[in-house]
Amino acid sequence: MRYDAPRDLLLAALTHEPGLNRLEVHAFLHRLCGRHVIELQNCLREPLWERWAGVLQGQLGPLCRQADWLALLVREARAVADADRALVFAAVLLRVLDKVHIQRGRDFRAARASLPPALGGGTTLFLAPPESPIADLVPESRRLGRGRGDLKSDLRNVLELWWYLVPLDRHTVRPNIQPLDASISREMAHRLRRQGDLRIGLASPFDDLRYVVRSDPARCGGRGIPYRFAEISPDCLALARAALQETLHLCAAHQIDVLCFPELTLDGSLLHHLQLLLKLQNPSRHPLLVVAGSFHADAGKGWVNRCRVLGGSGEPLSTQDKCAAYNLPGAQVTPHLGQTLGLDERGGYEDIEQSTVLEILDTPLGRLATPICLDFCGEQLRDLLVDACVNLFFVPAMTPRMEPFLDRARDLGTQNRATTFAVNSSWLLQQIGVSPVLESVVLAYLPARKLDSTLRPLSSSLYSCSIRELLGLPLTVHGATL
């Protein structure tokens, strides 16, 4: 559909038969104005245009609440003579509907509007702004700029809109947004209110243990040899369980609220053991939330790289499968790594089915996602993460370099005021001969200037920080400053 004739398109939407409802008009206007955001910004920065838009908003607001609102808007739109006025009219009407739908926010959260083919088709997801208590802790003078015009091509900022609209047809991965378990949400909110802080644990154990990896040279193709992690070596299982128990003991002792493990770390047996430990030996629920890394799992129709989120008693809360399989070029296959993974100079690739769903949890801490490694620092999900305003990330990673993760964390910090915690596989670093120094294993990023990103080690494989520590703010206990 051509979007270069705003007046004709505006009238086509308002006079469509059968008539559109308010949510559908809202979605259509968002798409129309999004195509012309630069022209809109150029118009609205002029005082005369801005004054006209203000007067028009006062006129259209009452009309949109009338029973015959659509007919009244058609009459007003037909009086608009040229393309620029039609575009500003569309933008003002979008602002009005944005405000109208705030008042019905509970009804419209995660609502969808599908447009007819004659108006371009496509389905739009409506999302309310996420909670943002972590970013709100950042002192005003150290916050990243996000006022009107800071992101010049962002329609929501240009028009100062409240809703986040996600054009689902423009993304290859579909968001699935659910609320966090109610009891965990209540406890998380209570801790944040009481302490004014949260403590995060990032664990990367098992660097000196062995995994069973299965490769299939007979299926070697253009991407190399397929491989997958099968399990931790049975002769290492007792050591791994002991390491898990020590990690949870330290979490309880240091009152860790959220714990995250790396990619391809906890196989099915260790995941089950972790759930048992949480159920039987975590009465204080520290941690309260566990991002249990990921591992290759049989999903019935194929293998997936699956991350599980658990509650503090071991109960499963959410499952995220990896959306982008990792490709390992032959030039990066060292003799030792090749022997471990069953690869050669042809390289290899992760032998998994790629997910088309991004699981998102709305929590008291923010809109939370657990994209696995490349799903976070690659390009496939980036625009969806921005559109849906995901603003809290726990990222299980297995990578030789953490710099791309910091780059993406900064990008999403600017776009969404997002906070990112990532933990890398020290096992992989051991395999490729990279020293597991702090910067190569863990990442903590808050959307703030002058961030103290130092995490302190609680053991050789567990690192900890609190939000206030990262910001260099005084610590509190029960609301009192220490």
* CATH number of the domain within which 359 lies: 3.60.110.10
Residues 184, 302 within the same domain: yes
CA–CA gap between residue 480 and residue 482 (Å, rounded): 6
Residue 33 three-state SS: helix
Residue 313 within any structural domain of the chain: yes
Kindly state whether residues 455 and 373 are assigned to the same domain. yes
314 plus 230 within the same structural domain: yes
Q: Which domain holds residue 117?
A: 6-128
Separation CA 45–CA 149 (nearest Å): 10
267-310: pLDDT as tens digits: 999 999 999 999 999 999 999 999 999 999 999 989 999 999 99
188 in a structural domain: yes
170 is a domain residue: no
The distance from CA 329 to its chain's CA centroid, rounded to whole angstroms, is 28
Residue 379: name the closest of 407, 360, 398 by CA. Answer: 407
Residue 161 lies in a domain: no
User: pLDDT at residue 106 above 70?
Assistant: no
The kind and range of the H/E element at 349 are strand 348-350
Q: Would you say residue 322 lies in a domain?
A: yes
3-state secondary structure of 64: coil
pLDDT, one tens digit per residue, over 302-356 is: 999 999 999 999 999 999 999 999 999 999 899 999 999 999 999 999 999 999 9
Are residues 353 and 205 located together in one domain of the fold?
yes
List the beta strands (DSSP E) in 8-140.
Answer: 112-114, 123-127
pTM of this prediction?
0.94
Beta-bridge partners for 420: 393, 445
Q: pLDDT-based confidence at 474, cuts 50/70/90?
A: confident
Is residue 148 within 8 Å of residue 81, measured between CB atoms? Answer: no
| 146 pLDDT tier (thresholds 50, 70, 90) | low
Category of 12 on φ-ψ map: left (φ > 0), alpha (ψ -120 to 50) or beta: alpha
Exposure string of 143-156, with b = 16+ CB inside 10 Å and e = fewer, is ebebeeeebeebbb
Final residue of a domain: which of 128, 144, 165? Answer: 128
> Where is the domain boundary, 128, 148, 165?
128
The number of distinct structural domains making up the chain is 2
Q: Is residue 146 part of a domain?
A: no
Give the whole-angstrom CA distance, residue 251 versus residue 420: 20
Domain boundary residue, one of 112, 128, 144: 128
Residue type, 338: G
Q: Are residues 231 and 288 both part of a single domain?
A: yes
308 and 239, same structural domain?
A: yes
- The verdict on residue 136 lying in a domain is no
